Amino acid sequence: MNAVQEQPSVIRSYYEKLAQGKLLAVTCKSCGTHTFPPTGCCERCGSWEVEPVELSGEATLLYATHNLSPACHPRFEKIAPYVYGHLRLKEGPIVQAIILGVEPKPAALRELFERGPVPAVAETLQMDDLPVLAFRIRA
């Protein structure tokens, strides 16, 4: 009996790439918009004609706040409370993700806020069961 062939999955591919430190997006062949994180169509024009593309991981951190312990999701209990930020990727997409390189405390977050937007770079954070996207503030 032949083995059943596994269908490709964009979500699975995203996390497999992330485990290798790569950021997977898709680019629209019609309008050129990046959809990140990737889906099977263009988030702007709805075209199904998209192709995988790797993003640079270069970003600007616009705002950073923190959250609570215990975390809302059990996956993040070990690192809670953590800093969570609002970023613009070099290629354009707006992303929210865990931020590394600043303490999840009001004084540190205030100092960062008063500095204004700062450069950050993507980093893979390996949780127990999943690699997740984080950004580290550049020194």
Partner 1 sequence: MRNQLKERVAISGVGCSRFGDLLRTPDLKGLTIQELTARAVKEALDDAGLTGQDVDAVFAGNAMVHSSQVPATYSQLSKWTGTQFKAGVHFEAQCSTTNIGAILAAMSIAAGVYDTVLVFGLETTRTKVKGHSPYEREPISHQQTWLWTDMAVNQAYAVAQGYDIFSTYNGLVSLGYCRKYGVSIEDFDRSMYELCRTRRFHGSLNPKANIQETLEARAARAGYSDPYEYWQSDEHNPFVAWPSRLLSLVTTADGASAMVLTRADLARGGKSQPVEVKGFGVSYSDLPWYGEDPTYWEFDRRAVDAAFDMAGIKAADIDYLHTHDCSHISSICTAETIGYLEPGKGLQAAREGRLRFDGDRPMSTHGGRHAFGHAWGASAGSDTYEAVLQMRGQAGARQIPKAPEVSVIHTHGYAMIGAVLVLGSM
Residue numbers at the binding site for partner 1 (CB under 8 A): 11, 14, 37, 43, 62-68, 70-76, 82, 84-86, 88, 94-98, 106, 109-110, 113, 116, 130, 132-134
3-state DSSP of 87-126: EEECCCCEEEEEEECCCCCHHHHHHHHHHCCEEEEEEEEE
Pick the closer one to partner 1 by CB: 32 or 74.
Answer: 74
Pick the closer one to partner 1 by CB: 53 or 84.
Answer: 84
Q: How far is the CB of 99 from partner 1 (least distance, A)?
A: 10
Cα gap 122→98, rounded to integer Å: 10
Q: How far is the CB of 2 from partner 1 (least distance, A)?
A: 30
Q: Which two tokens stand for residue 110?
A: 């205030």
Q: How far is the CB of 50 from partner 1 (least distance, A)?
A: 16
- 46 with 35: CB under 8 angstroms? no
Pick the closer one to partner 1 by CB: 1 or 131.
Answer: 131
- 115 with 139: CB under 8 angstroms? no
